[in-house]
Chains A and B, each alone.
Chain A
Amino acid sequence: MEDMIFYDRLQFAFTITFHYLFPQLTMGLSLIIVYFKWQYLRKKVEKFNDAAKFFMKIFAINFTMGVVTGIPMEFQFGTNWAKFSELTGGIIGQTLAMEGTFSFFLESSFLALFIFGEKLMGQKLHFLTGFLVFLGSWASGYLILATNAWMQHPVGYEILENGTFVLENFSALFSNPWLFPAFLHNQAASVVTSSFVVASIGAFYILNNRDVEYGKLFLKTGVVIGLVSSLLVAFPTGDWNAKNVAKYQPAAFAAMEGIFETEHAGSEIVLIGQPNMVEKKLDNKIAVPNVLSFLTYGRWDAQIQGMDQFEEDVLPDNVPALYYSYHIMVGLGTIFIGVMGLAVLFLLLGKLYKIKSLLWGIMFLFPFPYIANITGWYVAELGRQPWLVYGLLRTSDGVSPTVSSGNTLFTLIGFVGLYILLGLLFLVLVGKTIHQGPKPQIH
């Protein structure tokens, strides 16, 4: 049984990690595209319109990738996690079906109109189609987060005698206290990814001394939105989420913060250290006393439960991975604020476009928000272990009863091979679009 779960989990982790490379860009990018289009309507300067259309091309490539890697996500609930689907489909089926109905149709219909319909519709309607694409992609994020929030902190359900969860209160799914902070945190983080990509492409054009006017526009927009969104990710949204984890999933909180032992006079915050699961301590630890207690409860001496307070079978099953994911996310988030703060400072001083080293730094920074976003999701998902539905349904009880691990490994290998090909395609397409540049093509 253990082996079976391992490949099922690995396959889900792999396919969802790959899938989430794309939506995290499209959600944030759609907002930036709406901003460019709006600037064009206000100022009637062509470069804003070109920018909106250029990034919509990149959006479209990412959207396509999101669709083809998203279909397997939905199918895998049934194929690999059949028992989970059977027991909870009456609840999470609602939010997933709503995602299909409300957001994908909106996104795909108006994306086509935005790309092909500018001349037919006129500028105001063109702006509206862009706005509807944005609305569709954020609705999608909202409904997926609502699904995940229910798994993290189940509400509005009733459990029947045979173990099936049935819906008792539909609106509770949307007033879930887990949902709102998680949604805002996730969306802000997605804006970080897209603004860093926009800034990176801008820096690329400036450093190559081509399309410099566009480069400056992208860089300026990217760093300003990048700074704002990086700040929002940390405070207040990140703070809210950490408090939610401490409140609803104390075992996960202890593990992600690396608190092995309960300290009665207030917990330290760990900056660096490696979890040693044999001796139950952190090796090479650097920590600041009492800060974690203050950040979590607003009191320096508040007690935080350490991992010693929990039975083995309710602690996350991979503490080191959870701990590292969390620390990588937080560490990168802090660096983002620093770099973007510096960039905005030089922008205000009017020197940003001339400082080559900073431009190089910004250009190569774009992969890191992807890492921060992905590790952020690892924190949520590893922290939820060993549960699928927190406190109620164990991961080991959700797997498909009839699918053997041999079959799962076979399909996992297939997905890896296919996604490598897909990744290459993606790089070629985006590379080509950037190479062609934001200037309107003349036919």
Chain B
Amino acid sequence: MEVFWYIIIATVLAIFFILDGYDFGAGIIHLFFAKTEKDKVVIAKSAGLFWDSNEVWLVAGGGLLFMAFPIFYASVFSGFYLPLIIVLWLIVFRAIGLEFRGQFDFQMWKDIWDKAFGVSSLLLALFFGIALGNVVRGVNLGSTSNGVSLHEGHYFFLPLWDSSFSPLSDTPGVIDWFTLIIGVITVVALAIHGANWVILKTESSINTKLKSVIFNLNITLTALTILSLVVWLKINPEAMDNFYDKPYFGIFPLIYFIGVGGLFFVKKFKKDVYPFILSTLVILGGITATLASIFPVILPSTNDINESLTIYNTATSDYGLSVAVYWGIIGFTLLIFYFIIQKRLLGGKIDHMDYGH
């Protein structure tokens, strides 16, 4: 039962990163590459029309996590208090940027909200990546100091950073050089994903140029991925043990590398949807491979006193988990149904779409 809900929640969160990922990515592309007013408008719109329905997935994922793994939910949300609240602010701020932009036809006004949209998209991608890095690296559960836990073993509190900025520190912060690398990888991956989205959904004048951008970013992504793996194996030689023990987990990194490998041919594809599918694989593979590498742990402990949080020691009762399966099946069937209807009716380029048309 725990494994079942773990897979469901991981899937919902992966869908969230794939969907909201493209509009974060569109924001990053908007920030660095959109020059003409026309391009700025359509790129902002390619995010603006969809972000709120994409963020519903975050709400659903959060709710399911709360239901199935309440101890994990309580521990992680209070432990990562500041970064999480900052993420919330960025989500709100980004929405303000997107919705305010078109309200007045005044250059400085548009510039301000364009920057708000772009910068908050960039920071969100960075923070989500850093979060993923933290989950792999682990935290000082129980806030131990000199062998004594200051809190119950499943609680902790992380400052934004610790003066050493090192993942090897006894009291690592949220941001250290390792989690920062994962953050940058996420920014690059989402920028690629966003660029693919812009190409797929708009007729912006930079679509051709974006293909070279994707190609170059993909080289960066490959280099950073290798760097992060090498560094992490140096720090934690057992990091890949899960993949030796359970070789079928190898499917997840494979998905990632198929995506990355395929994206080197971005300029050759006839249909715009193929590179978008590939960057979807990159995100899907990246998240699932990361989670698989520590499974069934969901938050490693960096000390020897308190044990790591796993899906087994943080889950709610079996009755609760089973009863949720019934409504879950109904709920997700409906969801797939809505999704198909929506895609059939609202597919295609969005350049000329507007409220009321």
Contacts and interface: CB of A to CB of B under 8 A. Distances in A.
Interface of A: 53, 57, 60, 63-64, 67-72, 74-75, 77-80, 82-83, 85-94, 96-102, 104-106, 108-110, 112-113, 115-117, 119-121, 166-168, 170, 400-404, 407, 410-411, 414-415, 418, 421-422, 425, 428-429, 432, 440-441
B241 interface: no
A82 B49 CA distance: 34
B79 interface: yes
B67 A93 contact: yes
B93 A418 contact: yes
A325 B357 CA distance: 44
Contact of A64 (B59, B60, B77, B99): B99
Contacts of B32: none
Interface stretch (B81-89, B171-179, B232-240, B268-276): B81-89
Contacts of B89: 414-415, 418
Interface stretch (B180-188, B250-258, B334-342): B334-342
B324 A97 contact: yes
A104 B60 contact: yes
A82 B56 contact: no
A67 B93 CA distance: 13
Nearest to A168: B319
A117 B345 contact: yes
Contacts of A401: 78, 151-152, 155
B156 A402 contact: yes
Contact of B316 (A57, A89, A109, A121): A89
- Which 3 A-B residue pairings sit nearest by Cβ, starting from the closest? A89-B70, A78-B77, A93-B67
B307 to A, nearest CB: 16
B103 A422 contact: no
Given A82-B77, A100-B63, A115-B356, A166 B319 contact: yes
The majority secondary structure among interface residues of chain A is helix
A415 B327 CA distance: 34
22 contacts: A53-B356, A60-B355, A64-B52, A64-B95, A68-B52, A74-B62, A78-B74, A89-B74, A94-B67, A94-B324, A97-B60, A97-B66, A104-B60, A105-B338, A109-B338, A109-B339, A110-B338, A115-B355, A115-B356, A117-B345, A402-B78, A422-B92
Contacts of B95: 64, 68
Contacts, number: 227
A75 B70 contact: no
A126 to B, nearest CB: 11
B199 to A, nearest CB: 21
B353 interface: yes
A70 to B, nearest CB: 7
Given A72-B85, A85-B74, A115-B355, 12 more contacts: A75-B88, A80-B78, A85-B77, A86-B73, A89-B71, A101-B63, A102-B334, A105-B334, A109-B341, A113-B341, A411-B82, A418-B92
A89 B353 CA distance: 42
B157 interface: yes
A60 B53 CA distance: 12
Interface string B306-342: 0000000000110110011001100110110011011
Nearest to B93: A418
Interface of B: 49, 52-53, 55-56, 58-64, 66-71, 73-79, 81-82, 84-85, 88-89, 91-93, 95-96, 99-100, 103, 143, 151-152, 154-157, 316-317, 319-320, 323-324, 327-328, 331-332, 334-335, 338-339, 341-342, 345-346, 353, 355-357
Given A79-B78, A93-B63, A93-B66, A101 B88 contact: no
A100 B93 contact: no
Nearest to A92: B66
Contacts of A410: 82
Contacts of A91: 320
Given A89-B73, A411-B85, A422 B96 contact: yes
B332 A101 contact: yes
Given A101-B327, A429-B99, A96 B78 contact: no
Contacts of A411: 81-82, 85
Given A83-B74, A113-B345, A402-B143, A100 B59 contact: yes
A400 B155 CA distance: 9
A167 B317 contact: yes
A147 B232 CA distance: 43
B74 A429 contact: no
B52 A63 contact: yes
Nearest to B82: A407
Contact of B63 (A97, A108, A113, A404): A97
Nearest to A411: B85
B73 A79 contact: no
Contact of B56 (A57, A89, A105, A404): A105
Contacts of A415: 89
B299 to A, nearest CB: 13
A268 B77 CA distance: 47
Nearest to B318: A166
B320 A166 contact: yes
Contacts of A428: 100, 103
B246 to A, nearest CB: 29
B305 to A, nearest CB: 16
A101 B64 CA distance: 9
Nearest to B355: A115
B323 A100 contact: no
Contacts of A70: 59
Contacts of A110: 338
Contacts of B335: 101, 105
Nearest to A166: B317
Contacts of B58: 71
A404 B67 CA distance: 26
Contacts of A63: 52
Contact of A109 (B75, B152, B342): B342
Contacts of A86: 70-71, 73-75, 154
Contact of B320 (A53, A115, A167, A402): A167
Given A100-B62, A119-B357, A414-B89, A75 B320 contact: no
A94 B326 CA distance: 12
Contacts of B63: 74, 93, 96-101
B88 A90 contact: no
B15 to A, nearest CB: 11
Contacts of B73: 77-78, 85-86, 89, 93
B67 A90 contact: yes
A110 B339 CA distance: 10
A91 to B, nearest CB: 8
Contact of B103 (A72, A106, A167, A429): A429
B53 A112 contact: yes
B91 A71 contact: yes
A370 B82 CA distance: 32
B52 A90 contact: no
